[in-house]
Amino acid sequence: MSYHIVATDDEAAIRKVLSIMLSRAGYEVSTCSQGSELLTLLSQRPVDLILLDIKMPKISGLDLLVQIKREWPQIPVIMVTAFGDLDTGIKAMRLGAADYLTKPVGQQQLLKTVDEVLHAPLPPSSAHAEQRLSMALSELDDVRAGTLEAFSETLAQKDSYTKEHSLRVRDLAVAIGRALHLKEERLNILAGGALLHDIGKIGISEEILNKPTTLTTAEYEVVKTHPEIGVRIASHLSLLEPFLPIITSHHERLDGTGYPHGLTCTEIPLEVRIISLADAFEAMTASRPYRDALPVELAIEELKANSGTQFDPDLVNLFIEEELFRL
* C-alpha R_g of the chain: 23
Is residue 201 part of the annotated active site? The answer reads yes
**DSSP helix/strand/coil, 102:** strand
Contact 302, 205 (CB under 8 A): no
Contact 287, 234 (CB under 8 A): no
DSSP assignment of 214-274: PPPHHHHHHHTTHHHHHHHHHTTSGGGGGGHHHHHHTT--TBS--SSS--BGGGS-HHHHH
Active-site residue, from 69, 112, 163, 201: 201
**DSSP helix/strand/coil, 99:** strand
Paired sense of beta strands 28-32 and 4-8, if any: parallel
**DSSP helix/strand/coil, 8:** strand
d(C-alpha 126, C-alpha 145), whole Å: 28
- Residue positions annotated with a catalytic role: 201
